[in-house]
Structure formats: C-alpha cells, structure tokens
Structure 1
Amino acid sequence: MSNAIRFSAARAIAIMIKELRQLARDRITFAMIVMIPFAQLMLFGYAINTDVRHVPAGLLDFAATSQSRTLVQDLEASQVVQFIRRFDDLKQAEAAITNGEVAAVLYLPADFERRLLTRELQLSTAPIGQWITDGSDPVLSGAVSGLRQMPLSDPRAVQGVDTSSAVFEIVNYFNPEKRSAVNIVPGLIAVILTMTMILFTSAAIVREREQGNMEFLITTPIRPIELMLGKIVPYILVGLLQMGIILTLGNRLFAVPLPVDLFSLLVITLLFILASLTLGLVISTQAQTQLQAMQMTIFILLPSILLSGFMFPFSAMPEPAQWISELLPATHYVRMIRAVVLREAHWSDLHFDVGYLLGFIAVGMTIATLRFKKRLD
C-alpha cells in the first residue's frame, strides 16, 4: 500500500483539532450544544408533570349552605381543582367553559342537603350535584371525573345522619366520548406551524446572506421592512394550506369536528402564522448560517411542544414553567384553536390570547427591523 493512501493518525487528529476550534468559534452552535440538553433536562425533569393539580374550576352553588361550603373546601383541599370563579347561572358557566376560562364547573342544586340526606338514608340513588367538564381536554376532564365520589370532612352535618360521601354526576361537554384525537389534532397544527414557519423564514433570510444576494439588495432602494414582508407573505399561504390539510385529514381519519366559525379560525391562524414568521425573522438577524437557524428553531420548538399544553396539561406545570410557556406564541394558539374548533368559541371572546399575539408581532417586527437595518449598515 502506497504512502499516499496509508492511514495517518496525525492527519486525523489535525482534522479533529480543526473541527473543535471551529465549534469553539461558532458561538451559536456551541451554545446549542450546551443549552439543548440543559433545556430538555429542565423540561422533562421539572416542568413536565402528568399529575394534574389545580384544575381551574367554577362554582354554581344554588344551595349556599354551610354543608355546601364545607364540600367546596374539601374539594379544594384535594388539590385537584381550584375554584377561581363563582357563577350566578348556568349560561355564565357554559360561556366560561367555552372561552377556556375554566375547565370544569361544580353545580350544586338548591336541594343539595335534601339529596345528600335521602341518599344516605338509601331513599334515593340520585347524585347530589354535577360536575360539568370540558371534554375537549380528556386529561383534565379525567382528573375531575376522579372526584365523582368525594369523602366529606364533616360526616354529621345533616340532621345527625352519617353523610360520609358525596356522589356527583359527570357531564362532559364538547367531547363526550373523551377521545384523545379530538384534543391532539387541533394542537398539532400549532406544532407544525411553529416548526415550518420559523424555520422557513429564518432560513430564507440567512440563505440570501450565504449566497451573496444580500450585497445586491443593499444597493437597491428596498427597505428592511419591505424585504421582510416580501419574504414572509408567501409562507402565510403555506401555513394556511398546512392548517387545511391537518383539519381535513383529522376529520376524515379521526372524526375530529370541522370548525363552525371559519372566520374565527382564519383570524387566529393568521395571527399565529404572523407571530411565528416574526420570530423566524428575529432568528435570521442572529443566525449566520442555515445550520444555526435550524438549531435555534429546534431550541424554540422543544418548549413549544412540551409547555404549550399540546402534550401535557398546562395546569399541571409549576408556576415558573407556566410563566415561560405564556411567552410562547404556540401556547396561546393551542388555547385558541381548541376553543374555536372544539368549543365553537368566537375569536373576539379570546381577547387575552389575541392581544398577546398582536403585541408579540408588533414587538418582534420592530426588533427584527432594527437589527436587520443595523446589519445592512
């Protein structure tokens, strides 16, 4: 074997040293090497929790007695639910479930104590109250269904009779069969749009820089905001096409209901697409290569999947994780699209999430435009 093709350990070591030096100079890649495993460890070890606690609930107490108040305290002591609102009528409670303000409502009728007494005397098997749950999220509704029979801390509160437990009827709105596909398919749109919109936009801008086209664009009268709008508008159509494909296939294959209010669906989806494209533009002002743009997209995609409520219940996360997730556009879109598609909510009822996405777009476009203009100078 000639010396020209003989393996040389020295040459291999030289190449390895060169690659290590290149990694050390590439700050973004080096940061991703350190941050991705750290982020995954924190997400899976700390933020992700399948034990549902503090489900936001509402109370419709027509009894308003000491016994009903004791029952509510016992339910909150279980830490499964947390009563955040009280309603005066059923219409208000149903509207709160539809808008996603609460995931369950406890209804206690005016004859609550009589029902409890007759049940303990074995004169009746009727439930003493009712849980109305948002069945579009089977995990949360399943946790509330676990409270179907609730031990009472004061077993002799009703006329000296041993009322040791309360039995409730469970009513699941929007998804009575509690099928997981009904919950997953709308949320999947958020994940796919997050991945494609951010990656396509950031890579498109960086590709211009890598191919040398940016120098040509500098000599033209085009402004940074005009270049950015020209880059993102085609991807708006791509995002709408992806949404249509997922919803159509979800309906045909998994019987996921199609949205009744198409205008509301269009409004919230356009907002989310614009927010994701804006985030891609911000990444493009930082990334130097398409590889770096892809790495930064993955770094955003991971928490968007795990913290947005797509896979794990939002209410089960620790408060710091919830604060972080509220910064992600995907969290707000998952809430909105499930509300519009599954609960037939109107986009104007989702004012908090709509307002956040509008603010995110405005701030993101401002940052991207200023940073891009600085690079051109």
Structure 2
Amino acid sequence: MNIRRIISIIKKEIIQIRRDPPSLAMAFVLPVMMLLIFGYAVTTDVEHIKTVVLDMSKSHQSRQMVTVFKNTGYFDPDLYVESYDEINHLLDSGDARVGLIIPSDYAIKLHRGEQATLQLLVDGSDPLVARTALSTAQVITQKESYDIKVKTIRQAGIDPDLKPAVDLRYRIWYNPDMVSLKFNIPGLIGLIMQNITILLTAFAMVRERERGTLEQLIITPVKPAELIIGKLIPYIAIGFVDVLIILGFGMFWFNVPVKGSIIQLLIFSLVFLMGALGLGLFVSTVAKTQLQAMQIGFAIILPSVLLSGFMFPRESMPQIIQVIGYALPVTYFMQVLRGIILKGVGFTFLWKDIIILTAFAIFILGLSIIRLNKRLD
C-alpha cells in the first residue's frame, strides 16, 4: 500500500469531480430537496378527511354532532347535500372520502331516550384513510353516546357512578404526540444518504472506462486496493457533508432534535457511508456503462425503500421478505438513527447493528477490490 499513489488517485478524482459541476451540485442540493419533499409528503398521519354531510334532522343535536366531527381535526364536514345521490356522486368522483348521514328522527329519538342511528359511508379505496375515519367515528359516537346517557340520568335526579370498571393509564415514550414526521425524518436521513452515495460512486469506474482513462490506470503501478481507497475518500468527504446538511435540516427545519449523542451519530454515519460508498463502487466494477450502473443502483434503492422498515413495519412482512431486508445495510442504519435521534440510546443498545454495518463495509470494500482488476475485458 503506497500512500503517495493513493494521494495521486484522490487528486485525480477531485479533478474529475470538479469537472462535473452538475453531479457535484446534485450531491449537495438533491439531499435537501429529497428531505423536504419526502418529509412533507411521506406521512401516516391522516387528517382533514373530506366529508360530505346529509343532515335530514336539521336540529341542534345534529349540528352538534357535525361540530364534534369537525373539532377532532380528522374530518372536514364542509360539504352539505340534500340527497343520497349527491353523496354517491361525491364519493364516486373522489371529492369526498366520507359521507355522514343523519336521519330525520335523530333528535326525536335522543329526546325520547331511544337509540338514534347515524350512517357513515367510507371510501375504502385507501385503507389507511378508511381505517382512520372508521375508528375515529366510532370513538366519537361512543363518547357522545356516553355523554348523552350521563346527562339523561342526571336530569332524572340520579347521580351516576362514572368510575370505570378498569382504569387504563398509559405513557407513550420517545414520541409522545405520535407524530409520524419524527419517525420518518431519521429514516429519510438514512435512505437519502444511501441513495446519493450509491448513485455518486456507481459511476466512478464506469466513467473511467467510458472516458478512456482506465487504460492509463492499467499501465500505472497503482494497485486495486489503492485505486478503490483513492476513489472512496473524496466521496466520503462529500457524503459526510451531506450528513451534516440533512441532519441540520432535520433538526432545525423539521424540529426533530437528536436526543442521543451527536458524536456517536456522526461516527456511526461514517461507518454506514463507507459501506454505502463501497456498494456503489462494487456496482461500478460490475456495470459496463453508466446506464447499467444506474439500473443496478435503482435495483438496490427500491428494495431499500420498501423492505428496510422506512415505510412499512418489517414485523408484518412475510419471513422471506424480512430475510431480504436483512441483506440491506440501510435496514440496520434505520435502527441506529431512530435509536439515537428518537430514543437517545447509544452503542450499548445498538452494538449489534454497528457490528453488522462494519462487517458489511469491510466485506463490500474487499469484494470491490477483488472485482477490480487492471485489465480490460
């Protein structure tokens, strides 16, 4: 291993990077754009569901029920119609997701102490919205029913025993408000870091081949390991700057503070970066053209989004799909990011994930060195 040859490769790679301003700009601008777009777009918090109301009762009680629905923040009952056909049309067109129908005898039955009926029509084409609408409506009606019964009993001069048979007391740790943004941002940081670094380095060796500079490297005494290390170091620096940028945006723009050690987070991010960059370099040693490198890169990126636990809980996936997810380094880095940022834990609890990330970085870099031989195919 010759340090001078490695430094020469580093200088050469820096010159090539400087000669490609669009790629350099993409390395710093794209992570911020992705974080902003995904940070606002990817959320499991369902609110402001468009709701159409058919109020045939037109009473104080019916208007109160609609107000309760609106005050939850989950429903926007701003559309009022006069017939079932209008509700069907709005649900069919997608202009409304929920239809609330209050019958004409709603207030009369409540006044008599009888059971009143509400009808809720839910567009089930989006199961997440449908489940949220249905469960929220059930909670609303149960609470209103309970309040009405208590009021009726008290009006009869009876003091009801309001103490429940079972008292459930709970505390939600790490994300008390259950805001999906706080869960998504750490995952986005890992996902963006992997995607950017793979795409940047996937073109490294392919660019050498297409520009004809690979032949010049073949006749030099540079060894494969020195070439890989020399090409890796500039991208490690770029990737680390990206880490600082998107971490800063996550903390100060999206107000997601790091509860654990930032120093540990940066060190572990460096380990992950080396593995992700090594994976990109491995792709570049396999691909013959930049198009092939891009296709292989996206073949890695898409499973990372779906199988790493970023969007969907891995526990609910079939066993074979979970095994595939275990082969992705970002799966472990998600645990590290969410552990440090959300829970405030450190190496004591995350050592297994760190060891796997370290082993993967060593393995993939070694594989890249083996794949890289100084001969043209």
Q: Which residue of 2 aligns with 1:318?
A: 318
Match of 1:349?
349
- The alpha carbon displacement at 1:258 in A equals 2.9
Distance in 1 of aligned mates of 2:167 and 2:308: 34
**Amino acid in structure 1 at the alignment position of 2:324:** I
Instruction: Report what 1:363 is aligned to.
Output: 363
CA distance in 1, matches of 2:278, 2:178: 36
Residues 1:274 and 2:274 aligned together: yes
Deviation at 1:349, TM superposition (A): 2.7
* Deviation at residue 351 of structure 1 after TM alignment: 1.6
Instruction: Return the offset for 1:324.
Output: 0.6
**Partner residue, 1:197:** 197
Consecutive unaligned residues of structure 1, counting only runs of 5 or more, are 1-49, 51-141, 147-163
Secondary structure of the equivalent of 2:194? Answer: helix
- CA deviation map 1:240-265 (0-9, x unaligned): 22222222222222210135412210
Q: 1:176 aligns to what SS in structure 2?
A: coil
- Greater shift after overlay, 169-178 or 289-298? 169-178
- Give the stretch that moved more between structures: 207-216 or 171-180: 171-180
- Per the alignment, residue 223 of structure 1 pairs with 223
- Rate the CA distance shift 1:257–1:288 in 2: closer, same or farther, 3 A: same
Aligned partner of 2:327 in structure 1 is: 327
Residues 185, 247 of structure 1: 8 Å contact kept: no
- The 3 A distance-change label for structure 1 pair 217 and 191 is same
**Counterpart Cα distance in 1 of 2:374 and 2:216:** 16
CA deviations on 1:247-299 (whole Å, 9 max, x unpaired) are 22222222101354122101210111011011112111110011111110100
Q: Residue deviations 1:12-54, cap 9 Å, x none?
A: xxxxxxxxxxxxxxxxxxxxxxxxxxxxxxxxxxxxxx9xxxx
Contact 2:217–2:374 (8 Å) recurs in 1: no
Task: Mark the structure with the bigger radius of gyration.
Answer: 2
Structural mapping, 1:58-73, within 5 Å: none
Per-residue deviation, 1:232: 1.2
**Structure 2 CA distance, aligned partners of 1:182 and 1:361?**
28
Alpha carbons 2:260, 2:346 under 8 Å: kept = no
Contact 2:218 2:375 in 1 (8 A): no
- 8 Å Cα contact 1:285-1:371 kept in structure 2: yes
Residue 173 of structure 2 corresponds to 173
Aligned-partner residue type, residue 350 of structure 1: L
Q: Does the residue aligned with 2:345 lie in a helix, a strand or coil? A: coil
Aligned to 2:293: 293
| Contact preservation (8 Å) 1:304, 1:331 | yes
Q: Is the 8 A contact 1:185 1:256 kept in 2?
A: yes
- Kindly state the Cα deviation for residue 361 of structure 1 after the two structures are TM-superposed: 1.5
Instruction: Return the alpha-carbon distance in structure 2 between the equivalents of residues 165 and 195 of structure 1.
Output: 53
> Amino acid of the residue matched to residue 261 of structure 2?
D
List per-residue Cα deviations over 1:70-117 (Å, max 9, x = no partner): xxxxxxxxxxxxxxxxxxxxxxxxxxxxxxxxxxxxxxxxxxxxxxxx
Matched, 1:213 2:213: yes
The match for 2:237 is: 237
| Alignment partner of 1:182 is 2:182 | yes
For residues 314 and 193 of structure 2, what CA distance do their matches in structure 1 show?
20
SS state of the match for residue 287, structure 2?
A: coil
SS of structure 2 residue aligned to 1:169: coil
On the 8 A contact 1:188/1:310 being kept in 2, the answer is yes
Question: C-alpha deviations, 1:174-198, integer Å up to 9, x for none?
Answer: 1111111111111111111111111
For 1:222 and 1:259, the matched residues in 2 are separated by: 45
How well do the aligned residues superpose, as a CA RMSD in angstroms?
2.5
Distance 2:297 2:205 in 1: 14
Q: Contact (CA 8 Å) 1:247, 1:258: kept in 2 or not?
A: no
- Cα offset, 1:376, TM superposition: 5.6
SS at match of 2:171: strand
SS in 2 for 1:234: helix
Unaligned ranges ≥5, structure 2: 1-43, 45-131, 137-163
Contact between 1:232 and 1:277, CA under 8 Å: does it hold in 2? Answer: yes
User: 1:365 Cα shift?
Assistant: 1.7
Measured in 1, the distance between the counterparts of 2:181 and 2:318 equals 26
CA contact (8 A) 2:218 2:374 kept: no
Residues in 2 aligned to 1:362 and 1:165: alpha-carbon distance in whole angstroms = 58
Give yes or no for the alignment of 1:307 onto 2:277: no
The answer on whether the counterparts of 2:191 and 2:330 sit within 8 Å (CA) in structure 1 is: yes
Matches of 2:204 and 2:259 in 1, distance apart?
32
Instruction: Tell me the distance in 2 between the aligned counterparts of 1:165 and 1:332.
Output: 43
- Letter of the structure 2 residue corresponding to residue 189 of structure 1: I
Structure 2 equivalent of residue 247 of structure 1:
247
How far is the alpha carbon of 1:170 from its aligned partner? 2.2
Give the deviation of 1:166 after TM superposition: 5.4
Instruction: Give me the whole-angstrom Cα distance separating, in 1, the residues matched to 2:202 and 2:232.
Output: 10
Percent identical among aligned pairs is 41
The structure-2 alpha-carbon separation of the partners of 1:289 and 1:262, relative to structure 1 and needing over 3 Å to count, comes to same
Query: C-alpha separation between the residues in 1 aligned to 2:165 and 2:238?
Result: 55
Which is worse superposed, 192-201 or 367-376?
A: 367-376
- Relative to 1, partners in 2 of residues 1:212 and 1:305: Cα closer, same or farther, differing over 3 Å? same
**CA offsets per residue over residues 106-150 of structure 1, 9 Å max, x none?**
xxxxxxxxxxxxxxxxxxxxxxxxxxxxxxxxxxxx9xxx9xxxx
- Alpha-carbon distance in 2 for matches of 1:165, 1:210: 75
